[in-house]
Amino acid sequence: MIVCHCNVLTKATISEAIEDLIDEDPYQLITPGLVYRQLGKRGKCCGCFPQVVDLIVQRLEEFQTSNPSYVLERSLAGAATAALRATGVRLALQRD
């Protein structure tokens, strides 16, 4: 499924980039801009960013579930997840 029509990016491509970023540093705050930078792209209309935020949240939650021994990691990822959810809400409200 195409998530970003401007850059022709699929859900699978974006998810893979998110997983690569988590593998590189699970402590970093992953944002849509960082995901696009990982892919060598940039947001154009940014209409897809709320969907990218949802994918980031999904991948972070999967990471937390599959790595229960990383207590600190889970708490940081949880904070990142909350921050991204808040950002996603603001992005959606700004577009209306």
Which residue do the tokens 């897809």 mark?
48
67-86 confidence digits (pLDDT tens): 776 655 556 666 666 776 77
Q: How buried is residue 59: exposed, middle or buried, by Cβ count under 10 Å (0-12/13-18/19+)? A: buried
- pLDDT tens readout for residues 16-47: 999 999 999 887 899 999 999 999 999 999 99
Which pTM value belongs to this model? 0.71
